[in-house]
């Protein structure tokens, strides 16, 4: 009989278990954030997909991802009627809002 995921995790050092637990919580929070944002606007995945010109499956995948392009996230938020602002925070300074968030800037390397 094989080893379950829970058994495998339990056999790891406590520090590794803590990192796995923290990353799991982060992934769950990220997934819920996009999903809850959409639900807060009383929008289904199908309706949002139509707004984005994508399939419902694509929207479901976006909501599960934890690493989106800024342009993808911006389109998602705009399809809900919002605006995405990128705020940079440093400990010794006031927050800085990056105002020009465009596809051209993202691809500029």
* Band of residue 75 on the pLDDT scale cut at 50, 70, 90: very high
CA separation for the pair 57, 46 (Å, rounded): 9
Q: HEC states along 38-94?
A: HHHCCCCHHHHHHHHCCCHHHHHHHHHCCCCCHHHHHHHHHHCCCCCCEEECCCCCC
Delineate the domains of the chain, giving CATH numbers in brackets: 5-80 (1.10.260)
Confidence label for 66 from pLDDT (cuts 50, 70 and 90): confident
User: How far apart are the C-alpha atoms of 65 and 27, rounded to whole Å?
Assistant: 8
Q: Within its chain, how far is the Cα of 58 from the centroid?
A: 14
Average pLDDT, the chain: 86
30-54 per-position pLDDT tens digit? 666 788 889 988 999 999 999 999 9
pTM here is 0.59
């Amino acid at each position: 009989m094989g080893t379950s995921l829970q058994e495998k995790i339990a056999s790891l050092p406590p520090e590794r278990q803590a990192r796995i637990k923290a990353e799991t919580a982060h992934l769950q929070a990220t997934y819920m954030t996009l999903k809850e944002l959409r639900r807060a606007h009383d929008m289904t995945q199908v309706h949002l997909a139509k707004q984005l010109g994508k399939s419902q499956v694509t929207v479901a995948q976006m909501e599960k991802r934890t690493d989106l392009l800024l342009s993808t996230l911006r389109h998602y938020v705009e399809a809900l009627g919002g605006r995405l602002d990128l705020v940079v925070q440093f400990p010794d300074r006031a927050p800085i809002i990056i105002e020009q968030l465009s596809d051209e800037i993202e691809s500029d390397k």
